[in-house]
Structure 1
């Protein structure tokens, strides 16, 4: 049984690796591709598409638990994977209506996918294996930022324009990866006997089966209502209110490193023929920063209460250094949607090494904030972890959606300033929460 559970976790991680190799790479190059197709077969904005995805994702999180309870995590993930594949396939033969329709559908699929993933991971873990299984899954997931972006670099390096043949080849390869990941969900096996199997007499009665299905559906609805009430109670609490600025900041910087920064690099004329290829390398280096930070702060220095504030402070400093270097190294109008490249010059001569250093710092800082937010929520809300994490993903996704919508119109310096203000506020509030928790612990010990 233990081997079967471990096998399930590895298959789950590999399936997410394949699917998010496709989706993460797509998000990184999407705005650049859409710009190259303007006034041709597709009009719109990649930033708007990503904003729709995260907006729908945030609100569908409230309904996803009921769906997973009714049809099960395995088939929920399979159906969600099909929606991801449909979004990738749209870029092979693009059209405006399909672009925005699949954006809505993948937002729904993302909520179902991540809710089912959490359910399945817990189902295949015990108290002694949950940390190991989470680490295995996280490591495989973060590797998704490496392979697709490497392909983009190898194919786009030296190109100033993106020809149709190159675009179709890349997205066809990403589609194959996404489909393989989706089919991998069918290899997942049940790790325990069915607790709700029909008895021999019940199995002979179609009516009994229908009654059992109705009971399961009714139970799922009741569970969803109970979770929603818990969410409302937690939102009113002081801890969640204080952590909200930090959660919101994680959404803004998620949008920036996953879609905006790569677009800025690709639009910088001073990088010449290397600009488009650097989008892929930037995505790889962000992934390396995420893996290094997740491994360092997620696995080391455990059970140290002071660690959380130290790591969050480090994340803030790392991000602020990255923002300052980006401000000096990238033209201020690079993310604007109205042109494919910018002729403006930044304060310094654009440097490839500085641009990639900033990519690493963005990934490292992001891992600092996310690992510690997960840690403090798991510590404070040990008995209500699912609603607490649902609130976190909701706030993060809403602000990521907002960031994607304004990113195509707001100059780079104002985007960076917003993140600096919210990042400082979020870090300060995180410190207050830690101080409150430490004081409460001291009182209990006394």
Structure 2
């Protein structure tokens, strides 16, 4: 296989591994608040929103050490062991207890930081300037198939169920645990790209793909070498956090964290709480997730694959994402009752400004997914371009910012009515788009300088 073919194969395997893992985890996140409301036990007192807030809070803090872990044990093992923590979190729902629920939340937050840092590392070292957009699109589209398959399963399993029984819950979460483990083992199929043809210099590629070079791992100075690498990765991440480019991108990254919370946890809960959608309101959570997934897949394919060389730049795609989200937010404001995010298990009988429509609700799900893919594919692309030689710390900072905002959003989702949550998203989306435009100007200037130097 050619070097380029090997790198493309690695991206596809990476995408399939994440697709299986997040078929399980995103489906889990989408239904867990509804499941918890239906779970009657004196031994369990937990909140899905609180769990997700813990996950993303720990995720955020753990991103400071994630580059060091990836540097020491390599991205492949980092993704595998992190995946096991995800599987453990999902398996916990088979027989949930309050202590195991929140302990698993902490552990999966740590695993998430290492997982996504390693993912960004693998994406960057298997890409060039001309393929980073394509590879980001391929990865994102494969990842978002997880929303389609997992939620289709939920719809079929829960169709017509007003109340989720213990048997319903156990069957679903045993299946999701197995699916997650399949994704973990797929990471072992990823192969190291040839150093001489790698987009970055061979020294950087070697240090990123392997925990240590063969020579240093057999020498007596291995421990100091590992400590030095870990400290160096941590220092790079801290310096990168305050760089001009990353500060500009931090607002749009923060926005993706807020809207991630909304589409992955809050909106599905809102739909399930709308009694005016009838007896199928709970199963509509699955259809909503499928609609989000279709939007994500379409966005990843069109804006990643067709815009290989960034011929038109990244700004039009981000602007389209903002407009798409604004349309979705407005329709949700009109269609969903304001108390839906915090309604009890019995749901809410309230209406908003129009008669509640299932069709409008599912259209909004699609628009949320499409807009999210616009932002995320372009952020993956610009970060992979600007920080290619230091990809592990860069993607760690990316996930640090995104996850701390997601943690904040999951926390306030316990208390804020729907219209206040939408207002926060509208303001953050506008600010994030403006700062992305400025960062893209910096990236294009850097590209022109690079082209000039090569000439």
**TM tier, smaller:** 0.7 to 0.9
- CA deviations 1:127-172 (Å, max 9, x no partner) are 7876665544333222111111001011112221111111111111
> In the superposition, relative to structure 1, how do residues 348 and 440 fare at CA in structure 2: closer, same or farther (>3 Å)?
same
- Count matched residues: 434
Residue 78 of structure 1, CA deviation: 2.3
Q: Secondary structure at the match of 1:287?
A: helix
Q: 2:218 and 2:108 mapped to 1: Cα distance?
A: 31
Cα pair 1:32 1:340 within 8 Å, conserved: no
Residue 197 of structure 1, CA deviation: 4.2
- CA deviations 1:38-76 (Å, max 9, x no partner) are 554421110111111111112212212222333333333
Cα pair 2:55 2:109 within 8 Å, conserved: yes
> In the superposition, relative to structure 1, how do residues 187 and 311 fare at CA in structure 2: closer, same or farther (>3 Å)?
closer
Cα pair 1:145 1:284 within 8 Å, conserved: yes
Q: 1:168 aligns with which of 163, 170, 178?
A: 170
Cα pair 1:81 1:179 within 8 Å, conserved: yes
Residue 358 of structure 1, CA deviation: 0.2
Cross-structure match for 1:249:
255
Cα pair 2:134 2:305 within 8 Å, conserved: no
Residue 255 of structure 1, CA deviation: 0.6
Q: Secondary structure at the match of 1:158?
A: coil
Q: Which has the larger displacement, 117-126 or 260-269? A: 117-126
Q: 1:91 and 1:33 mapped to 2: Cα distance?
A: 9
Cross-structure match for 1:73:
75
Cross-structure match for 1:397:
403
Q: Secondary structure at the match of 1:91?
A: helix
Q: 1:90 and 1:235 mapped to 2: Cα distance?
A: 35
Residue 443 of structure 1, CA deviation: 9.4
Cα pair 2:72 2:230 within 8 Å, conserved: no
> In the superposition, relative to structure 1, how do residues 224 and 428 fare at CA in structure 2: closer, same or farther (>3 Å)?
same
Cα pair 2:133 2:309 within 8 Å, conserved: no
Q: 1:189 and 1:357 mapped to 2: Cα distance?
A: 40
Q: 1:127 and 1:439 mapped to 2: Cα distance?
A: 14
Cross-structure match for 1:201:
none
Q: 2:70 and 2:447 mapped to 1: Cα distance?
A: 36
Cα pair 2:131 2:308 within 8 Å, conserved: no
Cross-structure match for 2:394:
388
Q: 2:109 aligns with which of 107, 112, 127?
A: 107
Cross-structure match for 2:62:
60
Cross-structure match for 1:232:
238
Q: Which has the larger displacement, 143-152 or 63-72? A: 63-72
Give matches, 1:273-422, under 5 Å.
273-304=279-310, 307-336=313-342, 338-422=344-428
Cross-structure match for 2:157:
155
Cα pair 2:131 2:309 within 8 Å, conserved: no
Q: 1:272 and 1:35 mapped to 2: Cα distance?
A: 18
Cross-structure match for 1:98:
100
Cross-structure match for 1:36:
38
- CA deviations 1:22-53 (Å, max 9, x no partner) are 00100111111111125544211101111111
Residue 282 of structure 1, CA deviation: 0.6
Cα pair 2:132 2:384 within 8 Å, conserved: no
How high is the TM-score relative to the length of structure 2? Answer: 0.86
Cross-structure match for 1:205:
none
- CA deviations 1:367-410 (Å, max 9, x no partner) are 11112223333444444444333222111110001101111211
Cross-structure match for 1:15:
17
Residue 328 of structure 1, CA deviation: 0.8
RMSD: 2.9
Q: 1:400 and 1:107 mapped to 2: Cα distance?
A: 12
Cα pair 1:37 1:43 within 8 Å, conserved: no
Q: Which has the larger displacement, 68-77 or 430-439? A: 430-439
Q: Secondary structure at the match of 2:341?
A: coil
> In the superposition, relative to structure 1, how do residues 134 and 350 fare at CA in structure 2: closer, same or farther (>3 Å)?
same
> In the superposition, relative to structure 1, how do residues 398 and 289 fare at CA in structure 2: closer, same or farther (>3 Å)?
same
Gaps of 5+ in 2: 196-209
Q: 1:440 and 1:136 mapped to 2: Cα distance?
A: 25
Cα pair 2:17 2:187 within 8 Å, conserved: yes
Cα pair 1:160 1:272 within 8 Å, conserved: no
Q: Secondary structure at the match of 2:182?
A: helix
> In the superposition, relative to structure 1, how do residues 247 and 130 fare at CA in structure 2: closer, same or farther (>3 Å)?
closer
Cα pair 1:246 1:423 within 8 Å, conserved: yes
Q: 2:293 and 2:65 mapped to 1: Cα distance?
A: 31
